[in-house]
Structure 1
Amino acid sequence: MELSKKMNKETANRINSLVYMGPAIIFMVFLIGIPLVQVIWDSFHAKSLTNPNLDGFVGLENFKKVLSDQLFMNNLKNTVVWTILSVFGELLLGVTVGIALNQKIKGRVAFRSMIIIPWIVPIAVAGLTWTWMLNPDYGILNYLFVKLGLIDKSIYWLGDTETALLTVTFINIWRTFPYWVISILAGLQSIPEDLYEASAMDGANIFYRFFHVTLPGLKNVITTLIFMHIVWTSVNFDFIWITTEGGPNYSSETLPIMIYRFAMKSYDIGKSSALSVIMIFILLLLFAFIPLIKLVAKKIKEAA
């Protein structure tokens, strides 16, 4: 009898959980599920915005066209560079500034409040502001760099094939690292002060405490942030589009910009959907490969 009551209670709890989660599940299905299925479906069909009569199954033809596009490898390389440099820069700045603002310094509350400003500024506003500041004719940054003797003459940072991608990456790091700082600060609060005091009493220097106390305590936070921002950065469209539109000469064009060009410039929904599916596949492979590396590293460590 008691077992039956317990099972009935567990069943009721599960039903209640599904009822409460129902609106969120329905929302996610309509927001992500249905569009995702539609993109996958379109990737195997000929579909155009300008020719509604063009509709038919073409198999892997769209994928072949995308992979054979002369700009695909260039844009894939740009996406990898943009993502790795952005995430690494955000990680480095986020951890450094987060630890600095966790110290008992005068005015740290004010600094913590101000550090979030770049992240809450709308991307359009931030992108246009940096475009104006980096302008070679009237930009304040070029003027200051020349006055300080850092450069001989104004540089078109966003209009040079050698500097465009790196400049946009720097702007993206500037805007996004405050999110890391706030998350790192939250993670630092969970590390017991006793660990720092005990390690200091044992004679551990600041570097030892960082690598053996702080970093292990932030491991889960940092891992989560890295995975999240790899996805967010690799699929980012607006920042690059606002600042360079993928130029000059495709030097800062990434795969999301290429998807936009296929869909909104060439009106080829089939190719844009195929490239979207390729991006999803690459990210899935990446996240499947990382745990495998960790497992191999663990086995090697255990064997040693």
Structure 2
Amino acid sequence: MRVSVEKDAESLSRKRRPTREVKAKQIAYMFVLPAFLFFLVIVAYPLVSVIWDSFHDKNLLNTGDGRFVGLANYVEVIRSEYFVQAFVNTGIWTIVSVAGEYILGIVAALALAQRIRGRAIFRGIIIIPWIVPVVVAGLTWTWMLTPDYGVLNSWLVKLGLLDEPYYFLGEPDTALLSIIIVNIWRSFPFYTITLLAALQSIPRDIYEAAALDGIGPVGRFFKITLPQLKSVSIVLIMIHIIWTAINFDFIWVMTEGGPVHSSETLPIMIYRFAMQELNIGLASALASLMLAFMIIGFMMYYLYIQRKSGNRGGM
């Protein structure tokens, strides 16, 4: 009887002891907890605060107010005089910048992947635009594009491409395009480095087999290189769509959204609401709208990919 009682007590104590798997999970939770707290403080709380403020009349000039106004802030933002123009500018700024960065990045990556003399030096030089601070790059290009003493204007006039200096950043027709070109110049090295690393992971045997089959360089690029870079390219493009759409500093440094709001994007509009008009409610509403636009866009893309993969599976 005593032996059975001791066995029962021992089995009960074993059940109460945490197993190795439970201990591993507890340790894993302990390691994840700081990151989770960091996420709550840095990301989740500000995001919830912005969404909360978007439904309230919150103005720094009238701190005693703050009543719930429902969708009034959203309606006022959409009816704003420059909302449509800023929305269109944001689309143009994002699409053209990302497309230009990718095209220039993959061309540079293909060039740097060739066995040429001084390849290591060129690979080191190509990263310089990316590491230059945005403010330094923006102010430098602003100076270069100035009609009075800008280097680019001087060169273009001497080459006969311009009859007289042109104020690229001061004309509504060219201001946004000029900033886009500068943004492409600064951002394409990131694409180049990433795509170059992906190019080096493609087996050379595939290219050799394609060459033996009579496929030329252009055919090898579209039939081998691009498909092999598809996963990396999608990640790069998605990340840069987000980065470019919410970009504020480059445009603000070079034109501040001018002239006549011709280069104003939604982030610039948010800044005006928050820091110039001190209307946190409108700024939060516009920020929430931008978040909604991005979520809808990525959901549509996800559904498109799912439907496309489903059709392939059905075939």
Counterpart residue identity of residue 142, structure 1: N
TM-score normalized with structure 1 length: 0.95
2:293 matched to 1:282?
A: yes
Query: Aligned residue for 1:216?
Result: 227
Supply the distance in 2 between the matched residues of 1:299 and 1:152 (Cα, whole angstroms).
58
How is 1:119-198 mapped onto 2 (pairs within 5 angstroms)? 119-198=130-209
Q: For residue 299 of structure 1, report the CA deviation from its aligned partner.
A: 4.7
Q: For residue 302 of structure 1, report the CA deviation from its aligned partner.
A: 6.0
How is 1:201-280 mapped onto 2 (pairs within 5 angstroms)? 201-280=212-291
Counterpart residue identity of residue 237, structure 2: I
Q: For residue 97 of structure 1, report the CA deviation from its aligned partner.
A: 0.4
Query: Aligned residue for 1:33?
Result: 44
Supply the distance in 2 between the matched residues of 1:21 and 1:94 (Cα, whole angstroms).
36
Counterpart residue identity of residue 212, structure 2: M
Moved more, 168-177 or 23-32: 23-32
Supply the distance in 1 between the matched residues of 2:180 and 2:119 (Cα, whole angstroms).
28
Counterpart residue identity of residue 241, structure 2: I
2:83 matched to 1:78?
A: no
2:302 matched to 1:291?
A: yes
2:214 matched to 1:200?
A: no
Supply the distance in 1 between the matched residues of 2:85 and 2:204 (Cα, whole angstroms).
49
Aligned mate of 1:9, from 20, 28, 39:
20
1:10-56 deviation digits (Å, cap 9, x = unpaired): 33333222222222222222111111011011000011112211211
Q: What stretches of structure 1 of length at least 5 have no aligned partner? A: none
Counterpart residue identity of residue 81, structure 2: Q
TM-score normalized with structure 2 length: 0.92
Q: For residue 132 of structure 1, report the CA deviation from its aligned partner.
A: 0.2
How is 1:66-105 mapped onto 2 (pairs within 5 angstroms)? 66-105=77-116
Supply the distance in 1 between the matched residues of 2:143 and 2:21 (Cα, whole angstroms).
61
Counterpart residue identity of residue 34, structure 1: Y
Counterpart residue identity of residue 200, structure 1: A
Q: For residue 300 of structure 1, report the CA deviation from its aligned partner.
A: 5.0
Counterpart residue identity of residue 286, structure 2: L
User: CA 1:8–1:204 in structure 2 vs 1: closer, same or farther (change >3 Å)?
Assistant: farther
Supply the distance in 2 between the matched residues of 1:65 and 1:110 (Cα, whole angstroms).
54
Q: For residue 84 of structure 1, report the CA deviation from its aligned partner.
A: 0.2
Counterpart residue identity of residue 212, structure 1: K
**Residue aligned with 1:160, SS:** coil
Q: For residue 298 of structure 1, report the CA deviation from its aligned partner.
A: 4.0
Q: For residue 207 of structure 1, report the CA deviation from its aligned partner.
A: 1.2
Supply the distance in 1 between the matched residues of 2:19 and 2:254 (Cα, whole angstroms).
59
Supply the distance in 1 between the matched residues of 2:162 and 2:313 (Cα, whole angstroms).
53
Supply the distance in 2 between the matched residues of 1:100 and 1:9 (Cα, whole angstroms).
53
Q: What stretches of structure 2 of length at least 5 have no aligned partner? A: 1-10
Supply the distance in 1 between the matched residues of 2:218 and 2:312 (Cα, whole angstroms).
24
Supply the distance in 2 between the matched residues of 1:14 and 1:194 (Cα, whole angstroms).
44
Supply the distance in 1 between the matched residues of 2:121 and 2:96 (Cα, whole angstroms).
29
Counterpart residue identity of residue 99, structure 1: L
User: CA 1:301–1:142 in structure 2 vs 1: closer, same or farther (change >3 Å)?
Assistant: same
Q: For residue 301 of structure 1, report the CA deviation from its aligned partner.
A: 5.3
Query: Aligned residue for 1:106?
Result: 117
Q: For residue 303 of structure 1, report the CA deviation from its aligned partner.
A: 6.4
Equivalent pairs: percent with the same residue?
A: 50
Aligned residues: 300
User: CA 1:9–1:189 in structure 2 vs 1: closer, same or farther (change >3 Å)?
Assistant: farther
